[in-house]
């Protein structure tokens, strides 16, 4: 069939238009058309291609059929190692890098490309004679997981190059901020844990086993490196980028090509100033020698090339005024000062109106006063901090902040305990302490009383229904009175009472950790529950009996005995009211990769907290532990891992990255 010229023209036009909108959406943060309009254009192209098969082109954005479901990923060696980059944090360190390069090349006019560093997930794409044959994750740099089926579903991964080269292209897969926020909104709605940042979201999405799900995640790929290549298709990175872009790849936007310290530094600053307008997170600039012959002469170290460096931008900072300091009282009486800002400031995607000042030593160290102009910083996902007080902007006489003598809530005496920085309210019946203890008891990490959050606890305390944990179990007697409180409809009250009733048979270890005994975390609570098997057994145990348990030290043992001695009345009451925590049960876990395995986690996982992850492993019949030893079967390596990795390597322990770990957990969970 001969296609009409108009069909051919329209097809070409649509492909161009869709590529343009890809760039607008994924890179520039300025989509010009609504999603529905994009989908309409996409469908129009698909229909034209269906009706005119001779016009279809393997490189068309429509050629991305489902890869189906995978059983798991296969680990494959990289053609050449995927290296990382060295970092520079100052102009001085940049100068040292440039000096080294110029000395080695014995030339001062070395040209560099300076471009944004994309905060994404490194992947490698292998093209043979112009066709995409394989896509791998970075993995440990030497081997990566084969995620070809998933990468094929990204509209910005061209399935064909504009020329028939055999070449490996490397770059970052990322999720832009808009897609990230939409994904997290969806996850919250369906009660799934949100991703901490777009990078984690991208990493997690790439490891999904269903490529249809991957396609829905709106991931993008940006090309920034050349891996193994056949022949010498280009002499410079700039030429390679031209090929990338003519094949439909996204390439780092706002690149500059220049030489000399000052000019390069100027580019770094320009990229910093422009990065806010981009649709994705940029955490630095990459400075790389343009000529491939220069790169070859400079070579690489075991970890990184000598021809490139990453200039990391400092954490984001903003200036605002300290309006007041609020004091919070914690479960154990700790009084914590919090700075309140006016106006709130915008820092890495969130509005920050408060930040913890930790304790009075910190207030003294900063010498911060009400009315001061302050600098607030938030590095990545880390909580906001007051990092400096701008003393030269201080106007008039501001009073310095003195430590408190009394608790801001109950007015009881407040003091610092020997050897502690924290100021504590000594009154165990301080309403704030009581509230925190009850909130802690009722929280998800505690016995989990649905519907009993901060607000309800505050009301119950204020109306004097509750003064201690045991009072929760007396609430049924006050049902009628509770119904009289505004907002306490019948259904709500009955649901709450039913939720409280259920906790009478809470698992023993949960009940124990919910009591909030000092030094007794979830792990210790579990070990103790497993050892004694009943609440009565625990109540009767002596310091020596506690010390006999693996992992229980003298502080914990003393803490337990002291708590049970001091709280005899409360515990008797709770028992009399029918609370009988359930003894730990041993259930046989179904077959899965963690069953019977000793596992250690290091670094941060994409979505799960350490406790959640360990609990899942335990449910699957594995035993998590805190340190690597000869017994360890698997080390799970999250982000910013610690020295455990070296230890595991020296012992030959198998490693699994955090994303794979979470995927395997989700698959294995009954």
Total of chain residues touching ligand IVH, rule CB under 6 A: 16
Of the pair 267, 527, the CB lying nearest ligand IVH is at 267
Q: How near is the Cβ of 635 to ligand IVH at its closest, in Å?
A: 22
| Beta strand ranges found along 603-662 (DSSP E) | 623-625, 634-637, 654-657
Q: Is 665 helix (H, G, I), strand (E, B) or coil?
A: helix
List binders of ligand IVH among 267-306 (CB under 6 A): 286, 288, 305
Residue closer to ligand IVH, measured from CB, 101 or 600: 101
From the candidates 91, 117, 399, 467, give the one annotated as an active-site residue: 117
Q: Does 122 bind ligand IVH (CB under 6 A)?
A: yes
Nearest approach in angstroms of CB 143 to ligand IVH is 16
Applying CB under 6 A, does 151 fall inside the site for ligand IVH?
A: no
| Separation of alpha carbons 108 and 87, rounded Å | 22
List 143's β-bridge partners, or say none.
77
Strands (E), 180-307: 219-229, 256-258, 282-289
Least CB distance to ligand IVH at residue 103 (A): 21
Applying the rule CB under 6 A, the residues between 405 and 464 that interact with ligand IVH are none
Q: Which is nearer to ligand IVH, 144 or 333 (CB)?
A: 144
| Cβ closest to ligand IVH, residue 21 vs residue 78 | 78
* Secondary structure in 3-state letters for 148-161: HHHHCCCCCCCCEC
| Triad 72, 77, 81: Cα angle to 5° | 130
Compute the least distance from the CB of residue 243 to ligand IVH, in Å: 16
Distances from the Cα of 323 to the Cαs of 41, 351, 404, in angstroms? 52, 16, 18
User: Cβ distance 267 to 114 under 8 Å?
Assistant: yes
Q: Does 154 bind ligand IVH (CB under 6 A)?
A: no
| Closer residue to ligand IVH, CB minimum distance, 117 or 218 | 117
Shortest gap between Cβ of 544 and ligand IVH (angstroms)?
52
Query: Which residue's beta carbon is nearest to the bound ligand IVH?
Result: 122
Interaction with ligand IVH in 77-116: which residues (CB under 6 A)? 83-85, 115
Residues forming a β-bridge with 236: 291
The answer to whether 369 contacts ligand IVH (rule: CB under 6 A) is: no
Least Å from the CB of residue 664 to ligand IVH: 24
172 belongs to the binding site for ligand IVH (CB under 6 A): yes
Here the tokens at position 444 are 């998800």
Minimum Å gap between C-beta 304 and ligand IVH is: 6
Tell me if residue 218 is catalytic. no
HEC string of 34-96 equals CHHHHHHHHHHHHHHHHHCHHHCCCCCCCCCCCCCECCCCCEEECCCCCCCCCEECCHHHHHH
Least Cα distance to 604 among 193, 210, 319, 214 occurs for 193
Residue 274 vs 367, nearer CB to ligand IVH: 274
User: Which residues ranging from 210 to 249 are in contact with ligand IVH (CB under 6 A)?
Assistant: 224-225
310 binds ligand IVH (CB under 6 A): yes
Among residues 481, 477, 426, 491, which one has the least CA distance to residue 459? 481
Residue 480 near residue 582 (C-beta atoms within 8 A): no
Among 98, 118, 449, 599, binds ligand IVH (CB under 6 A): 118
Contacts of 461 (CB under 8 A, 6+ apart): 431, 434, 435, 438, 467
Active site residues: 117
> Would you tell me which residues interact with ligand IVH (CB under 6 A)?
83-85, 115, 117-118, 122, 172, 224-225, 252, 286, 288, 305, 308, 310
């Amino acid at each position: 069939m001969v296609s009409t010229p108009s069909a051919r023209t329209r097809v070409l036009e649509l492909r161009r238009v869709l590529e343009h909108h890809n760039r607008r959406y994924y890179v520039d943060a300025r989509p010009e058309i609504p999603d529905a309009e994009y989908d309409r254009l996409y469908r129009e192209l698909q229909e034209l291609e269906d009706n005119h098969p001779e016009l279809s082109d393997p490189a068309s954005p429509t050629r991305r059929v489902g890869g189906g479901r995978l059983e798991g990923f296969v680990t494959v060696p990289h053609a050449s190692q995927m290296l990382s980059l060295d970092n520079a944090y100052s102009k001085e360190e940049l100068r040292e890098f440039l000096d080294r390069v110029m000395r080695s090349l014995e030339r001062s006019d070395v040209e560099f490309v300076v471009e944004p560093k994309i905060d994404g997930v490194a992947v490698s794409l292998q093209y043979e004679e112009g066709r995409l044959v394989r896509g791998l994750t970075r993995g440990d740099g030497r081997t990566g997981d084969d995620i070809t089926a998933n990468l094929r579903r990204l509209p910005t991964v061209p399935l064909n190059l504009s020329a028939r080269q055999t070449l490996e292209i490397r770059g970052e897969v990322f999720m832009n901020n808009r897609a990230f926020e939409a994904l997290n909104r969806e996850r919250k709605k369906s009660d799934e844990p949100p991703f901490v940042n777009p990078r984690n979201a991208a990493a997690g999405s790439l490891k999904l086993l269903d490529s249809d799900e991957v396609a829905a995640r709106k991931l993008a790929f940006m090309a920034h490196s050349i891996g193994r290549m056949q022949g010498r298709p280009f002499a410079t990175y700039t030429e390679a980028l031209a090929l990338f872009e003519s094949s439909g790849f996204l390439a780092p936007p706002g690149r500059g090509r220049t030489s000399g310290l000052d000019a390069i530094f100027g580019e770094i600053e320009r990229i910093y100033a422009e990065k806010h307008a981009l649709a994705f997170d940029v955490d630095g600039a990459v400075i790389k020698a343009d000529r491939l012959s220069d790169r070859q002469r400079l070579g690489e170290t075991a970890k990184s090339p000598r021809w490139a460096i990453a200039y990391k931008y400092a954490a984001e900072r903003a200036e605002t005024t300290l309006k007041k300091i609020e004091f919070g009282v914690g479960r154990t009486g700790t009084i914590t000062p919090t700075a309140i800002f006016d106006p709130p400031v915008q820092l890495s995607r969130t509005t920050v109106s408060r930040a913890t000042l930790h304790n009075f030593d910190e207030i003294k160290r900063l010498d911060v006063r009400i009315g001061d102009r302050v600098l607030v910083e938030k590095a990545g996902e880390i909580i906001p901090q007051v990092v400096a007080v701008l003393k030269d902007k201080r106007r008039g006489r501001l009073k310095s902040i003195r430590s408190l003598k009394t608790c801001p809530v109950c007015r009881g005496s407040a003091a610092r305990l020997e050897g502690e920085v924290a100021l504590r309210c000594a009154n165990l019946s301080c309403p704030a302490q009581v509230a925190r203890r009850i909130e802690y008891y009722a929280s998800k990490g505690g016995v989990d009383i649905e519907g009993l959050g901060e607000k309800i606890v505050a009301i119950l305390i204020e109306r004097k229904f509750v003064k201690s944990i045991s009072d929760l179990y007396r609430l049924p007697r006050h049902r009628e009175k509770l119904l009289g409180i505004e907002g306490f409809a019948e259904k709500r009250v009955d649901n709450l009472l039913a939720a409280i009733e259920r906790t009478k048979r809470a698992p023993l270890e949960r009940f124990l950790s919910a009591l909030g005994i000092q030094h007794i975390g979830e792990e210790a609570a579990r070990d103790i529950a497993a050892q004694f098997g009943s609440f009565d057994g625990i109540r009767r145990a002596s310091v020596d009996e506690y010390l006999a348990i693996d992992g229980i030290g003298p502080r914990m043992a003393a803490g337990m005995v002291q708590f049970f001695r001091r709280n005899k009345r409360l515990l008797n009451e709770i028992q009399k009211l029918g609370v009988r925590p359930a003894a730990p049960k041993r259930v046989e876990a179904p077959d899965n990769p963690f069953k019977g395995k000793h596992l250690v986690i290091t670094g941060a996982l994409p979505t799960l907290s350490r406790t959640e992850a360990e609990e899942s492993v335990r449910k699957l019949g594995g035993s998590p532990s805190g340190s690597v030893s000869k017994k360890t079967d698997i080390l799970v390596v999250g982000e910013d891992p610690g020295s455990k990795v070296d230890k595991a390597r020296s012992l030959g322990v198998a490693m699994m990255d955090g994303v794979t770990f979470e995927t395997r957990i989700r698959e294995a969970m009954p």
